[in-house]
């Protein structure tokens, strides 16, 4: 079986067993195709390769400027691929077994302060239909910690306003219930009654927050909308699609929320992913101590 067929079989297994998104599948496929091409130049193939060749490939990538985080992701791809080949009895030994993971400096997410969030949420002009929609989206994003893709893809059937929760289908097809605060719930109810009917011509349209054309908004469009309001409100921090998600988690931890509860709300499969917010909280406390303590 050639490399291309092996890669296709592996990626198909990712979809069947883990329900990974198309973007994630594409990333695995791209990584393995590049590795296959490099191996062919060195008279090897994916099935016939040893630890030394894989280390040489990783070293060459690093030499060309690849970051340690990219190398770590690439090694994760290779490990998952070779474990699959081992399980399917296509190879007898996993060549990644004794390759150590590169140390990655974990950068703390840049979170907005509570006053900055207030400024951002109050910036849209609710007299304008589009900005009213944006104001509600920002409110929901901060209240729920949704991923931006989950927010723009939100459907009417996912809302349970009576119970005040959202039913979210997250990464890997995992479903979770996310509660909404009173402010966000009130904002959605008012928007659905007075504003959304003006944005959709088709009453069968299930999208909660349609674009100006009445379709599902893209992540990039909403990101640009957030950056616009940040600029107008005088926020100078770098705004990313996850800015309000980070703020949601950071502010919960700062106010004493249990980390496992935050994990469930964010839809993280691994608690270690959520633990970065404890570092954010510690960093904030250290900053406050140095600013206000007489011997800080």
Catalytic residues: 147, 171, 242, 245, 268, 277
- d(CA 252, CA 256) in angstroms, rounded, equals 6
d(CA 183, CA 133): 15
Spatial neighbors of 202 by CB under 8 A, at least 6 apart, are 214
Is residue 117 within 8 A of residue 141, CB to CB? The reply is no
Give CA–CA dist 71/59, Å, rounded.
9
CB 79 within 8 A of CB 97: no
Cβ neighbors of 97 (< 8 A, separation 6 or more) are 51
Query: Rounded CA gap, 182 and 95, in Å?
Result: 54
Cβ neighbours for 5, distance < 8 A, ≥ 6 positions apart? none
Report how far residue 274's alpha carbon sits from residue 285's, in angstroms, rounded to the nearest whole number: 18
Distant-in-sequence, close-in-space partners of 205: CB < 8 Å, separation ≥ 6: 214
**Burial class for 181, CB neighbours closer than 10 Å (0-12, 13-18, 19+):** middle
């Amino acid at each position: 079986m050639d490399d291309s067929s092996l890669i296709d079989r592996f990626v198909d297994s990712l979809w069947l067993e883990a329900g990974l998104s198309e973007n994630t599948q594409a990333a695995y496929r791209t990584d393995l195709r590049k590795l296959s091409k490099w191996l062919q130049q060195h008279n090897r193939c994916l099935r016939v390769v040893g630890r030394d060749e894989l280390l040489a490939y990783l070293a060459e990538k690093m030499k060309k400027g690849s970051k340690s985080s990219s190398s770590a992701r690439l090694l994760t791809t290779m490990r998952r691929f070779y474990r699959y080949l081992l399980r399917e009895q296509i190879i007898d030994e996993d060549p990644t077994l004794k390759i150590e993971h590169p140390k990655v400096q974990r950068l703390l997410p840049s979170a907005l302060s509570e006053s900055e969030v207030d400024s951002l949420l109050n910036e849209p002009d609710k007299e304008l239909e589009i900005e009213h929609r944006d104001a509600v989206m920002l409110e929901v994003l901060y209240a729920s910690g949704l991923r931006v893709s989950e927010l723009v893809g939100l459907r009417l059937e996912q809302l349970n306003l009576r119970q005040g929760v959202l039913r979210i289908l997250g990464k890997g097809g995992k479903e979770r219930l996310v509660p909404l605060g009173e402010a966000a719930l009130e904002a959605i109810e008012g928007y659905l009654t007075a504003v959304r009917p003006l944005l959709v011509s088709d009453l069968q349209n299930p999208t909660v927050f349609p674009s100006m054309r009445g379709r599902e908004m893209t992540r990039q469009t909403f990101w640009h909308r957030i950056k616009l309001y940040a600029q107008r409100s005088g926020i100078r921090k770098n705004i990313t699609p996850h800015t309000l998600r980070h703020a949601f988690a950071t502010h919960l931890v700062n106010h004493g929320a249990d980390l496992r509860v935050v994990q469930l709300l964010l839809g993280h499969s691994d608690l270690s992913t959520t633990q970065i917010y404890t570092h954010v909280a510690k960093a904030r406390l250290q900053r406050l101590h140095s600013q206000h303590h007489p011997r800080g």
